Amino acid sequence: MNEGNDENEIVPSTPNGLTTRSVGLVRRGLQDLALSKVTKRVLVADDEEAINEVLTEILSSAGYEVRSTRHPSEVMAVVEAFRPQVALIGLIAPEIDGVKLSEQLSARFPDLKIVLTGETAEEGIFRHLLNKGIACDTLDLPCERNDILDMMKTWVSGSDHVDPITRLRDARHFRIASSIGVDYSKPLVISIELSERAPHRRSLKNESFLRSIGVLLARYARDGFAYRCGETQFAMLLPHASKEEGFTSSTWLMQELKALLNDHNLSDDYFPAISIISLPDDARSIEQVEEAVRGLLAQAKTTETNIALSEPLEPIIRDTWTGLFTERFFMEAFSAEWKRSERNKLTFSLIDVDLGDIDALLGTTREWLRPLLSQMGDTIDTICRRSDVSCHYNLGEFLILLPETTTETACSFAQQLHSRLKETAAHVLSDYRPPLTVSVVTYPVDGTTPVDLIHSLDDAMLLLKNSTRDGVAAANKGILSPL
């Protein structure tokens, strides 16, 4: 994607939302904000006195009221007394670090915006806090004076506010989000509208419902961002998703949204509609995104699935890297097997294979990635029965559907699979041993719907990643001993 000279053009950027390329979009997003009436209070907290002094001088000279401290034990009391809109946190001290302090501050002061400062503010930490619903950003130091002031204008105005009910970022941030954290050439925008079925529908101000939909969308956003754009409008920005992945995720999301509306007795009043836009293929500016979303949502309301794309997807059955089925084909087979098993009172199992340390793998042996995944696909295909369905789920993950298979049989298969795949990885990567997690769930023991089963599969995978980081686990058996 070319950067160009048009400040409206959507370009990828670093996690730090105020790089040179994004300043134009930030300023544009701030045009309609009344900043002059806002009381501007900022806390600066860093264990290096020189950083405190520089940041305090820059902000004070721009009209901000500033308090500073270099002692972690004083921060909570200063926020309690001073009540700043923004806290610049750079503390890393023996008794507490900046991340823990940010979590404690957010729990006690939910309206406080937090900016983590440092020489290299890590994206992983940033996303960790976002996933907890904490309104935050990162600021690499040293940086330009104007970058700091532009960021403060955005935060003090509330344009990066995280809704305390939904825990989603608000719509004003969405206008600049395409230049925050997007380091992939074709990010995906998924827009959701809860459309009215009748003119006299009930309001969606039910806090329980809004909280539930916030949790749901934040989960589907994965490594991206989720937003609340109005009473009935929501959006997700996915920096690492293809249209095929977006369509599959939207299909599952549609099921969960309908179930959520039904659980809150709102299904007679609203129904979900979803649009999927790939950048820059379908839109190259904020205005084009908004126009495309309006048209696709109108189209989605008239389709059977209530999901619309700018162009129909070509039906691709096999993944070119691994030779296994694509995610979309797998999910259709999964849904069909669930219906068959539900109708005939049968049992089936799912297996997830996750090459957990994929970032380290990409960083050290990128040239071996495709051969590794190709041979892992061959290994999976060789071990699986003819009736099984296996797919390349995403970059370092595979899913396998085992029809009419009990937990015991699936666990035995999973242990053999883990052993064979470790051998495959060792053969391809002679000097590197990535951790490998294999998790197992069974219908109806671990869930009676496809969504429940996927959640149980994720729980089993996280159990491994939070303990051994390598091995086999079943949702109803825990971590299994190796062969």
Reported in sequence order, the residue ranges of 265-344 that DSSP labels E, i.e. its strands, are 270-278, 307-309
**Confidence (pLDDT) at 52:** 87
Residue 35 Cα distances to 157, 161, 232, 377, 383, angstroms: 6, 15, 27, 55, 63
Q: Using one digit for the tens of pLDDT, what is the confidence trace for 258-278?
A: 888 988 899 888 999 999 998
Question: What gap in Å lies between CA 144 and CA 19, rounded to an integer?
Answer: 10
**Confidence (pLDDT) at 179:** 38
For residue 311, give every residue at least 6 positions away whose Cβ sits within 8 Å of its Cβ, in sequence order, or none. none
**Confidence (pLDDT) at 7:** 38
Strands 188-196 and 233-238: antiparallel
Record the tokens describing residue 77, joined without a space.
């009391």
Q: Using one digit for the tens of pLDDT, what is the confidence trace for 276-307?
A: 998 878 887 767 888 899 999 999 999 888 99
Cβ count near 138 (within 10 Å): 24
First-to-last alpha carbon distance for the chain, in angstroms, is: 48
Residue 399 contacts residue 351 (beta carbons within 8 Å): yes
Cβ count near 58 (within 10 Å): 17
DSSP 373-406: HHHHHHHHHHHS-TT-EEEEEETTEEEEEETT--
Consecutive H or E run containing 371: helix 369-383
- Residue 318's identity, in one-letter code, is R
**Confidence (pLDDT) at 284:** 74
**Confidence (pLDDT) at 373:** 86
**Confidence (pLDDT) at 245:** 80
Cβ count near 98 (within 10 Å): 24
**Confidence (pLDDT) at 3:** 34
Question: What gap in Å lies between CA 70 and CA 157, rounded to an integer?
Answer: 26
Instruction: With both helix axes pointing from N to C terminus, report the angle between 49-61 and 145-157 in degrees, rounded to the nearest 10.
Output: 70
Residue 127 contacts residue 359 (beta carbons within 8 Å): no
Please name which of 89, 194, 74 lies closest in space to residue 138, comparing C-alpha atoms. Answer: 89
Walk me through the domains of the chain, giving residue ranges and CATH numbers.
34-158 (3.40.50.2300), 175-309 (3.30.70.270), 327-480 (3.30.70.270)
Please name which of 88, 89, 108, 109 lies closest in space to residue 99, comparing C-alpha atoms. Answer: 89
Record the tokens describing residue 97, joined without a space.
């670090």
**Confidence (pLDDT) at 95:** 60
Maximal CA-CA distance, the chain: 73
Cα 71 → chain centroid: 33
Beta bridge partners of 392: 398
Cβ count near 154 (within 10 Å): 25
- pTM, full prediction: 0.50
Residues of the chain with pLDDT under 50: 1-38, 120-121, 159, 175-184, 364-365, 483
- Structure letter (DSSP) for residue 300: H
